[in-house]
C-alpha cells in the first residue's frame, strides 16, 4: 500500500495523498495475494521489516522521472519563477508532492499513475486526496479540508500575524503570513491509546512492576518520535488519559478506589504525590509522556555550505 500526498501551494501548500494497491507487496515478494483455505476464511501475509526496502527497489527512479518533466524555471507575466519543478518526498511507498499550482499537481497525479502502470502498480482513487495546507479548496465540486497526514504527523498551516509568521528563508527572507504546525495526527494518537489500553488490559492481574516495565518503552518510543514537533499539549493530554486508565486498573484490583487503596500503587515521587511507582523491586517508576523534552529540529540554511565549518 502507498500514500501519495500531492500538495499544491500558492505560497502556502496543497497536497494530494493516495495509496497504491497491495500489488506492490505482491510484485516484489513481500507477501502473497489473499489465500482462500476454507469458505469465508482468508489468510494474508503481513508486511515484513523488508517492506520499506522492497518499496524503494520497486519505486526507484520515479521521483527523477516525474520532476524532470517540468522546467527548472518558468516565466509568467514577465516574472521568472525559479525552482518551478514540483517537490516530491517519498518514504518507502508513501509520497508527498508539493507545488504552488494546482494544475501542476494534477499533471503529477497523471504522470505518477502512468509511471506506476509501467511497473504493474495502480493508485487507489478512494485513498487519493488533493488539498491545501492553509485554505479549504474544492476538487471536482467537493470540499477538501486544509492539511494532511503523513507518516503519523498532521501537517497544516494557520494564518498568523507578522510576529508569529514563518519566513521564506535565505538572504532576502520574506514574511509568509502563516505558520506551519506539525503534530501527531489524530489517527496516531488513537492508535497509541489502543496500544496503551490493551497493555493495561493484558496486565490486569500482573504485578505493578510488570506493567511499568511493559509501558515504559512504549511511551518512551512514541514520545521520542514526536519530540521534534508541536507535542506539549498532546503529551499532557496523553498523561491525563493514562491516569484514568491506571486508576481503573487499580480499582479493578482493590475494589472501590479511595486514597488508602490508591496509595499502594501511587505515592510521592518524581511526578509528585500521584507517581505510579513500586515500593519494592528497586522502585520502578512509570514515565510520563511529558517527561520527554521537546527539541526542535534545526533547519539547514538554504545558503549553507559544507565548507562553512559548522
Confidence of residue 282 (pLDDT cuts 50, 70, 90): low
Q: Which of 16, 188, 160 is nearest to 99 (CA)?
A: 16
pLDDT band at 7 (very low <50, low <70, confident <90, very high): low
Residue 36 pLDDT > 70, yes or no?
no
pLDDT for the residue numbered 189: 95
User: Of 56, 39, 146, whose CA–CA distance to 92 is shortest?
Assistant: 56
Q: List, in sequence order, the alpha helices (H) in the chain.
A: 23-27, 51-58, 62-67, 102-118, 186-202, 208-225, 232-254, 259-262
Q: Is 56 exposed, middle or buried (0-12, 13-18, 19+ CB in 10 A)?
A: middle
> Is residue 256 a contact partner of residue 248, using CB atoms and an 8 Å limit?
no
Select the more confidently predicted residue: 130 or 297.
130
Rounded average pLDDT over 192-217: 94
Q: What is the DSSP letter of 277?
A: B
CA dihedral of 206, 208, 214, 218, whole degrees rounded to 10: 130
Distances, alpha carbon 297 to alpha carbons 15, 95, 211, 294, in Å: 23, 21, 33, 10
CB neighbours (10 Å) of residue 57? 11
pLDDT given at position 267: 86
Considering 13-17, 87-91, 130-134, 224-228, the range whose residues carry the highest mean pLDDT is 224-228
How much is the mean pLDDT over the chain? Answer: 80
Assess contact for 123 and 62: CB atoms under 8 A: no
Return the closest-CA partner of residue 92 out of 160, 175, 1. 1
pLDDT in the model for residue 24: 42
pLDDT digit string (tens) for 94-127?
A: 888 898 888 999 999 999 889 888 888 887 777 7
User: pLDDT for 41-96, tens place per residue?
Assistant: 444 445 556 667 777 777 778 888 888 999 988 888 888 888 889 988 888 778 88
Amino acid at each position: 500500500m502507498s500514500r501519495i500526498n500531492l500538495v499544491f501551494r500558492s505560497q502556502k501548500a496543497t497536497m494530494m495523498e493516495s495509496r497504491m494497491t497491495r500489488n506492490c507487496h505482491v510484485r516484489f515478494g513481500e507477501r502473497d495475494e489473499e489465500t482462500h483455505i476454507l469458505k469465508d476464511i482468508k489468510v494474508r501475509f503481513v508486511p515484513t521489516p523488508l517492506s520499506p526496502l522492497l518499496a524503494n527497489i520497486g519505486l526507484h527512479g520515479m521521483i527523477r522521472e516525474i520532476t524532470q518533466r517540468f522546467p527548472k524555471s518558468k516565466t509568467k507575466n514577465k516574472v521568472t519563477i525559479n525552482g518551478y519543478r514540483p517537490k516530491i518526498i517519498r518514504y518507502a511507498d508513501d509520497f508527498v508532492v508539493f507545488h504552488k499550482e494546482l494544475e501542476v499537481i494534477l499533471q503529477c497525479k497523471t504522470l505518477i499513475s502512468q509511471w506506476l502502470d509501467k511497473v504493474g502498480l495502480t493508485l487507489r482513487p478512494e485513498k487519493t486526496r488533493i488539498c491545501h495546507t492553509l485554505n479549504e479548496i474544492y476538487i471536482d465540486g467537493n470540499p477538501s479540508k486544509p492539511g494532511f497526514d503523513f507518516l503519523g504527523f498532521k501537517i497544516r498551516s494557520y494564518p498568523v500575524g507578522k510576529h508569529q509568521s514563518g519566513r521564506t528563508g535565505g538572504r532576502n527572507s520574506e514574511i509568509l503570513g502563516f505558520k506551519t504546525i506539525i503534530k501527531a495526527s489524530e489517527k496516531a494518537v488513537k492508535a497509541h491509546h489502543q496500544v496503551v489500553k490493551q497493555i493495561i488490559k493484558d496486565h490486569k492481574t500482573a504485578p505493578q512492576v510488570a506493567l511499568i516495565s511493559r509501558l515504559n518503552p512504549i511511551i518512551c518510543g512514541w514520545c521520542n518520535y514526536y519530540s521534534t514537533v508541536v507535542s506539549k499539549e498532546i503529551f499532557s493530554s496523553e498523561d491525563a488519559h493514562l491516569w484514568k486508565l491506571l486508576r481503573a486498573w487499580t480499582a479493578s484490583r482493590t475494589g472501590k478506589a479511595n486514597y488508602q487503596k490508591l496509595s499502594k500503587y501511587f505515592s510521592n515521587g518524581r511526578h509528585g504525590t500521584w507517581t505510579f511507582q513500586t515500593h519494592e523491586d528497586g522502585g520502578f517508576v512509570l514515565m510520563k509522556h511529558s517527561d520527554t523534552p521537546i527539541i526542535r529540529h534545526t533547519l539547514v540554511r538554504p545558503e549553507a555550505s559544507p565548507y562553512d565549518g559548522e
